[in-house]
Structure 1
């Protein structure tokens, strides 16, 4: 939480410093034009990459696979889009990096390593229907199942 608060305080100052430095080098209106252009190009790139990720997501679902990688890439693209639409050179650079699959893979590997010890996967199995008295009833594939409409013993 402290790191997030620090980022919210430091990043705007870094952005402002970079904008002022670039503005001194190429001029105010050129800097403004570059910031607007990068936002437009970033939005277009995120849209194009997002369509590709969505197609891979649908292919995974159709193939019966869990689309965890596609969802993670989609989150990277969402963050990249938010960073690139935000005016500033520092956030634009990070957003551009997040658009490319190799940098996404590095980020996802770091996140998995950080989260791996803190998550616990719990699974549950379904044992079949249970009647109101709490006795387990035979499932639909059970040959001893009473005919439809009968309640059983």
Structure 2
């Protein structure tokens, strides 16, 4: 795992965003020069503005608009950001369910908000499945097994 991704997952890069783009979704060898090759795609950690622009260029959707639409459905996104489990997979055993892309950012600890925010930095992650379901997950950065 790259140092950038480890630092991001530890909550040490709150001004950056992470993007996972599945090889089946975006097949462009040039992505590897900007990020880290992982099993099923490329994972990029980059400053927030550039990351949001890259996300829009790759997906055709604004990053924050996507996050807002995915917030209403909870699912499981791998704590390495390179995959996850679509919440609709159990109900739709015959359908294809694979993560197309993930957008994530870290938020610094905020004790006044309470909940997991009081416990430490929080990673917010949003994923798009091939079935069309967009979903979200979040966890304390200290809980990530980076």
TM over 0.5: no
Which structure: greater strand fraction?
A: 2
Under TM normalisation by the shorter chain, which class is it? under 0.3
Write 1 or 2 for the structure with the bigger share of helix: 1
**Larger Rg computed on CA atoms:** 1
Kindly indicate whether structure 1 or structure 2 has the higher relative contact order, using CA contacts under 8 Å at least 6 residues apart.
2
Normalising to structure 2: TM-score of the pair?
Answer: 0.24
TM-score, normalised by the number of residues in structure 1: 0.23
